[in-house]
Amino acid sequence: MRTGSEPATARSALRARFWLSLWGLCWAVFGTVAFALAGHPGWAAVCGVLWLLITVDMTVILRHIRQGPHYQPGRDVPPYRPPDGPPYPQPPRRRHLYRGPPRHHR
């Protein structure tokens, strides 16, 4: 059921992100080593930067997994209750009053 509050109450699939990051980490390490051995230092540096970014992402993912059900709920944790009231504030209503044709001042 959609409530309109999904962006604010969404949960991340951390285990899936972990395994995808691990897969990317393996390829980044392989690329760094392969390009370094092949004599392409530029591509090795690009793969090394990617390796660093993936490592930071995995660190954040593992930290969230260890923080418990707030970030990684199990099957026994119900979804968040939708917030009371409208999901987003309504825009102000503007009254359009017809005041006749525009006046030209000279």
pLDDT in tens for each of the 106 residues of the chain? 555 555 555 666 888 899 999 999 999 999 999 999 999 999 999 999 999 999 999 999 999 888 876 655 566 666 666 666 666 666 677 766 666 677 776 6
| Maximum pairwise Cα distance, the chain | 80
What is the structure's pLDDT at 14? 84
Contact 86, 92 (CB under 8 A): no
How is residue 35 written in tokens?
Answer: 């390009």
Contact 35, 43 (CB under 8 A): yes
How is residue 62 written in tokens?
Answer: 């593992």
What is the structure's pLDDT at 67? 81
Contact 24, 54 (CB under 8 A): yes
73-104 burial string, b = 16+ CB within 10 Å, else e?
A: eeeeeeeeeeeeeeeeeeeeeeeeeeeeeeee
Contact 47, 25 (CB under 8 A): no
What is the structure's pLDDT at 23? 97
What is the structure's pLDDT at 9? 57
What is the structure's pLDDT at 77? 64
